[in-house]
Amino acid sequence: MIPIRDTIPSKRFPVVTVSLIIVNVIIFMHEMSLGSELNRFISAYGMVPARFFQSGYGESYSIFGRYYPFFTSIFLHGGWMHLIGNMWFLWIFGDNVEDRYGRFGFFLFYVFCGLLAGFAHALTNPQSAIPTVGASGAIAGVMGSYMLLYPRSRVLTLIPLFIFLHFAEIPAIFFLGIWFVFQFLSGTVDLASKSNAVGGVAWWAHIGGFLVGVFIAILSMIFKRK
């Protein structure tokens, strides 16, 4: 299922959402310009779980050098499709969440979700020496909040049916709920198979970010009622 757009227009121009997309694209273009230096760049600024859990990996780094990749990795991507997919989901769901949290609050929320998503990935993949990059954990947080904040929204979705393309408006709570269940099942299988030791999709970053987004949405609704 490929989301095309949601049915709730934003109340004002989503400055932070658009700015995040622009920053991610600029940084990715910088990555593409590095040539043979790209691997070194990703290793330095990507988040490597083994640096925290395996002796011999993190000793050469300062405390700052070990932890800042939790932030910098949020703005890096491993390829065009990785970038486009993440930015598309951010564009669809980010504007409304920015409306609800405010511009500054949304930026803090986005970074916070990304940081905790990185910790979730590190905790569930402690053996991995593969640098993890991508905004998907932060964007998963946006999706988690969107699901609770806008339960009546619908998502126009492209559904490939063999050789046919079908468009349908799917309730956002169903679309995002199915997405989360898929991440959870995939992450559980990944842990059970121990394939996390060699890298792959950061399923638990997605799960962790989504749950953080849900939790913050619950808090915002509680405090809004008071």
* Residue 143 CB burial class (10 angstroms; 0-12, 13-18, ≥19): buried
- Tell me, what's the pLDDT at 58? 55
Q: CA nearest 149: which of 106, 118, 182, 116?
A: 106
Angle at CA 197, nearest 5°, toward 192 and 200? Answer: 90
The 10s digit of each residue's pLDDT in 86-122 is 999 999 999 999 999 999 999 999 999 999 999 999 9
Q: CA nearest 11: which of 87, 71, 100, 114?
A: 100
Query: Six-digit token pair at 139?
Result: 């964007």
Q: What is the pLDDT along the chain (226 residues), one digit of tens a residue?
A: 789 999 999 999 999 999 999 999 999 999 999 999 999 999 889 998 888 877 666 556 666 767 889 999 999 999 999 999 999 999 999 999 999 999 999 999 999 999 999 999 999 988 888 899 999 999 999 999 999 999 999 999 998 877 778 889 999 999 999 999 999 998 888 777 765 444 567 889 999 999 999 999 999 988 876 5
Domain segments of the chain as ranges = 2-225
Single pTM value for the model: 0.91
- Tell me, what's the pLDDT at 52? 80
Query: Six-digit token pair at 174?
Result: 């169903």
Cα distances (Å, whole numbers) of residue 140 to 52, 57, 98, 145: 24, 29, 14, 9
- Tell me, what's the pLDDT at 211? 97
- Tell me, what's the pLDDT at 215? 97
Cβ atoms of 91 and 10 within 8 Å: the answer is: no
**Right CATH for 2-225 from 1.20.1540.10, 3.40.50.20, 1.10.1040.10, 1.10.10.10:** 1.20.1540.10
Cα–Cα distance measured from residue 45 to residue 74, given in angstroms and rounded to the nearest whole number: 9
- Tell me, what's the pLDDT at 62? 67
